[in-house]
Structure 1
Amino acid sequence: MKRIYLFCSAGMSTSLVASRMQDVADKHNLPLEIKAFPDRNIDTIYEQYHPDVILLGPQVKFKFNAVHEKYDPMGVPVDVINLEDYGNADGERILKRAIQLLKSKKEK
């Protein structure tokens, strides 16, 4: 099972996005665990669960460089969720992007 974890300032709005992404993954029988957390817990969550992809909510995109520099060398792709997709809670489009990141990870 691959883990796709979303992080935002409080984890609230991102929980809706994660839930929609999980619904799409379940509908297609994809072995994925998709959850949302507050961004202040990234290090703890990484140590505990070792996510395969980290997605940041648009409201914390200013943290991208620091998070990317820390986790990308460990083989964990990091990206910021597209603002429009996030605003629409478009679980399918966001999930497709996360799967692209998983595939690019395998190619490295």
Structure 2
Amino acid sequence: MCIRTVMTYASPVSLTPLQKHYVDYRTPTISKYMKDASKRFFDIAGSHPNALRAAVDYQPPHPTHLIRRPRNVLTDPPDALTAAVESLNDVNDMHD
């Protein structure tokens, strides 16, 4: 049986020169890059001379949209079913 030496490049000695010459390149994060890229894309798309895009009149949805999400439940007025259930609960509480 023969034991061979194996050369490894992961020794602490080989990392010392790299640490001396470390430069912080201040690269942007992925989220900042994607935000900037999407902003550039929609700026270009907004100025594109497409007749179909110009024909669409975009109106943002009303703040109290038909979908009752948890963030809107406290501010939305109750719908008919919720009002009926609450009135029945009040009647039952009065008789108990």
Q: Into which bin does the TM-score normalised by the smaller protein fall?
A: under 0.3
Structure number with larger C-alpha Rg: 2
Normalised TM-score (structure 1): 0.18
State TM-score, norm by structure 2: 0.20
